[in-house]
Structure 1
Amino acid sequence: MSDLKTESAADPFSEMERQGPQPFAVGYTKASGEAIVYGGLMFGFGFVVLGLFGGMKPMALLAIVPLLIALWHYPLIDTKQPQLGANDDGLFVERIGFIDWGSIRHLELAKTSVRSIELVTLEVDLTRPLAEAVSKRQLYPLWKSVMTRNWRAQRKEDGTDHLSVQLNTLNGPPEEILARVKAYRPV
């Protein structure tokens, strides 16, 4: 038998790692809404117990307010649902879907402070209205449309839209989220 020496050449298929930007998605931090949701449920339950078992029927009706507040803020404790992400399809925003990369004019962070709390938003300027910029719309249950969301859109005078996405409630440093989003944006 012949003894052949083979040098280990770099095999492009040996490591099936993706080159370039990595897809990612971030959700809410665990503590971003627990106090308001669980607090609302406890107050609502307390009002119901006092109203029904304490002989104060109007107190049971007051339970509607904290229970509605807890329902409104429920998405804040759903940490498994992605709120923002990026991949080849575009910029993902929960309850919008994927916004086409070609529809994004500008991305930047905006920081404001309320007392000692720093609020950070991702400001996204679009080249056209949001409805036209969405390449893949996200389908979600109808009941989620009455709950809080992590973004707001505003129509500008030129007919394009501006999207503001809150990052301070998301699981990750805002600067890193912006860097990962910008890694996908075409030059």
Structure 2
Amino acid sequence: MNRPSEELLHKTLENRATAAEAASVAEWLATDSGQAWASRYIGRDFDRREACGDCEQAEVDSERIFTRIKSTLTRGRRRRILFRVAAVVIPVVLVLGVALRLDRQVGGIFSAAEYDEFVVDRGRRTQCLFQDGSIAYLNSESKIIYPVKFGLFERRIRLEGEAYFKVEHNTRRPFIVEFEGGEIRVLGTSFNVKA
């Protein structure tokens, strides 16, 4: 059998030949001359690898690789811990920030509320309008003490004398009128108090 061309042999070894071409090359490789060629071809590949053996057989610096792996794992652990801490700290900071802002706007939630005092002279009558829309009509010689801003959970004032109240309805924050001897708690109505 005739020896195939070098081009056909390489084409077959690189798996680019047709089935008929590959069959003819396989038939030739089964002969003595074909086996001798294959032996030289494989030996030439081996010789090439031996020539480049220095780069393939270089010693691996396992200590350096182990150190890099350890540092990568440590960084990963630190990141996970940092994310867990952030998952706890960030919501707490946000809640505190919102609470402090709300305290500044509403007043008196976390700090002592500021109070104002309104006194009506003898022979006069007047009215006092609160920030929630409630109104107190004060009679002569009456005194009312009220917060500049009502608290988050209640609307509390102190009365000495007589007043008629028209209270805005709010089921979440009752309106409380303190006077000597008791207090009145309402959610929204009109009433008169003489203390």
Q: Is the pair's TM-score, using the shorter chain for normalization, greater than 0.5?
A: no
TM range (shorter): under 0.3
Of the two, which has the highest radius of gyration? Answer: 2
- Which structure dedicates a bigger proportion of its chain to strand? 1
- Which structure dedicates a bigger proportion of its chain to helix? 2
In the superposition, the TM-score normalised over structure 2's length comes to: 0.26
In the superposition, the TM-score normalised over structure 1's length comes to: 0.27
